[in-house]
A and B are shown apart, each in its own frame.
Chain A
């Protein structure tokens, strides 16, 4: 079964850091572009970042560029999101998702909640 499972969420103080992980299974992880998408409480979906199958193929939304870093470990079928300088407005459920067709997401994880609060 094709599956994604996020972990690493939790409560962090403003200005703090957190590293999210996403474990993939059931498909050839290294062949796919992967993304992170978040959803603030009661709000819509916001794409954050993607990492392609080719080295150096990365992109970030303006809202997180310079603070968040996406990476992957193909040997471990894992995707990561290093989040630094966290703000209250970063509070959200964070999803990892598999990208197809250059833009749409066919497989999503269940999400992990990040709460930024003092």
Chain B
């Protein structure tokens, strides 16, 4: 069973700053990794799939990179609406990471 570990658990940043979120898989998932954003009381929203492909309507400030076991979600310049929890997810058993909360510093 492949386990995804996200870091950090919480990221405290100010609007306009760059956010770098990490997702590490216990075994290679090739490029089959997705990222989601979830705000309180809302369903998750697909941001990135296949490690680096932006989903429809996702702003260009969101980018994904990585392959194998190490993946990164980067938000180039945080907007007020970007403060949320972010999850990664992989193909092998559809499992999600535990999430990273991006909060206002």
The chain A residues found within 8 Å of chain B, CB to CB, are 35, 44-47, 50, 61, 95, 100-106, 108-111
Contact = CB atoms under 8 A, between A and B. Distances in A.
Interface residues of B, number: 24
Nearest to B89: A104
B62 interface: no
Interface of B: 32, 34, 36, 38, 42-46, 49-50, 55-56, 87, 89-91, 93-99
Contacts of B96: 44-47
Given A104-B34, A104-B89, A106-B55, A47 B94 contact: yes
24 contacts: A35-B94, A44-B97, A45-B36, A45-B87, A45-B89, A45-B96, A47-B93, A47-B95, A61-B94, A95-B44, A101-B50, A102-B32, A102-B91, A103-B89, A103-B94, A104-B34, A104-B49, A104-B89, A105-B34, A105-B36, A106-B49, A106-B55, A106-B56, A110-B43
B46 A45 contact: no
A15 to B, nearest CB: 27
Contacts of A105: 34, 36, 44, 46, 89
Given A45-B44, A102-B91, 10 more contacts: A45-B36, A45-B38, A46-B96, A50-B94, A101-B50, A104-B34, A104-B89, A105-B44, A109-B43, A110-B43
A45 B93 CA distance: 13
Nearest to B95: A47
Contacts of A102: 32, 91
A95 B89 contact: no
B43 A108 contact: yes
Contacts of A50: 94
